[in-house]
Amino acid sequence: MDVAAFLQEICALPGHSGMEGTVASRVAREFARYSPNVTVDKLGNVRALMGEKGPKVLVCAHMDEVGMIVTAIEDNGFLRFWQMGGIDPRILPGSEVTVFGKKSLFGVIGAKPPHLNDGPLKAAGLGDLAIDLGLPKEEVEKLVRVGDPVSFRVPMTRLMNNRAAYKTFDDRACITSMLVAMEELSRVELRCRVEFCATVQEEVGSRGAQVAAYDADPDLAVAFDVCHATTPGTDPWDTMPIEKVGLGMGPTIHPKMFERMRDTAKALNVDIQVDPSGGSTATDADNIMQARMGVPTALLSLPLSYMHTMVETISLTTCREAGRLLAGFLKGVDEKWEDWLCF
């Protein structure tokens, strides 16, 4: 598949937590290229089955995005808003946005200019910001309601060394990696049953994964999310090289699943680095591993710089390599899975 082209399309679609319908429809169509059994559950997760026998493996990556929500319409037509998921207010002044009202409306986020501030300058908080649509209140009220979602309006930018910057790579880049794996697996006979799941509401509590894991009742699971790539000003132990796929390690991750994924990476010559967590991982893995009687879970991490901004940056090569690693792991799961899973 053309990773860059698909990312450019899928990341442009709106899909705020709890409002993922548009992006879910597109993901479902893409899943259907590789699976005859694609469903959308009651919460909105998109689920696709591959393979007909053997142990069941659940693979999850979330499709919801961080964004904003309209909270009030001012007398001057400006929109007040609040965050959905974790938005850093420092990046917002001067941003171009799309307000998804009765039709898509373009706007800009403004703040009081420095010339009119008293005392030392400081970063504006969310309560200091407003969206300007360039319309009077009467027109705004015809087109916008309190509760309408808002997202960044930016183009995808191709950078040197096969990298790209865009909004919503968290976590639709990992959806794309899953599709790379599905494409490869469509050419082989699987010895396990794989349920690929594009989950909802991860950014507000990993709710979709909790529902999917309970319903699927898998033998094994792989969660797929982004991690922090090397970024200016960060400590090296908090980040990892953008060129290497991360393997989660910590209390949420089953040690034997980690070992199996590590050995697969070595056999496939996929560059990896350990992505350690001292407690929870803040990914779908945390809820999946606790489902029912517990699910042995692995975590694949795609390094991403500038998380939760409109210029999230990834390596397209690493995105593809992560999918290749996932496919290799799934090819090795068969009826003997309990033998290598035992301590």
Nearest one of 307, 296, 340, 302 to 322, comparing CA atoms = 302
Cα separation, 69 vs 150, whole angstroms: 6
Q: Is 143 exposed, middle or buried (0-12, 13-18, 19+ CB in 10 A)?
A: middle
Instruction: Report whether 288 contacts 223 (CB < 8 A).
Output: yes
202 is catalytic: yes
Give the number of residues written for the chain.
343
Cα separation, 52 vs 55, whole angstroms: 10
What tokens appear for 117 in the block? 């501030």
Q: For residue 19, list its beta bridge partners.
A: 16
User: Is beta strand 79-84 parallel, antiparallel or unpaired with respect to 96-100?
Assistant: unpaired
Instruction: Report whether 191 contacts 26 (CB < 8 A).
Output: no
DSSP string covering 60-71: EEE--B-EEEEE
Of 202, 203, 312, 321, the active-site residue reads: 202
Spell out the residues 6+ positions from residue 277 whose beta carbon is closer than 8 angstroms to its own. 248, 249, 250, 251, 252, 253
Nearest one of 176, 207, 206, 122 to 2, comparing CA atoms = 176
What tokens appear for 289 in the block? 């591993």
Report the 10 Å Cβ neighbour count for 256: 16
Instruction: Report whether 64 contacts 20 (CB < 8 A).
Output: yes
Which residues are tagged catalytic? Answer: 202
